[in-house]
Amino acid sequence: MFLKIHNSPGAGSIVSVCDGDLLNTTITDGELEVRITEAFYGNRRASEDDVREALTNAANANLMGEHAVAIAIEMGLVSRSNCIMIGPVPHAQVFRL
């Protein structure tokens, strides 16, 4: 997986995680096209423990891919029914208010 933490003053951190095989690809679903780039998801490889730690402290999270989404589900941050599919790829967002 790849992980990037975006810090937003006054808003906390936004954690972006994608599965390793998705980085620098484009996925489509009908008219929708999503580019999964290093600019947003980073270029730093992350272990499951790295991802769990980052998600624990995140104000918000953007998760792309089966593995990344599964970790958030295991942590109770999101349920499978709250995820969307973009083509064959699961996607979830977490917002803490």
List domains and CATH numbers for the chain: 2-95 (3.30.1860.10)
Indicate the pTM of the whole model: 0.91
Give residue-wise pLDDT tens across range 13-62: 899 999 999 999 999 999 999 999 999 999 999 999 999 999 998 989 99
**Alpha carbons within 13 A on the beta-carbon side of 9:** 0
Whose tokens are 């970790």? That residue is 71
Q: Would you say the C-alpha torsion 80, 34, 59, 42 has a positive or negative sign? A: positive
Q: 36 near 23, Cβ under 8 Å?
A: yes
Query: In angstroms, what CA-CA distances link 35 with 16, 31, 84?
Result: 13, 13, 16
* pLDDT of 96 above 90: no
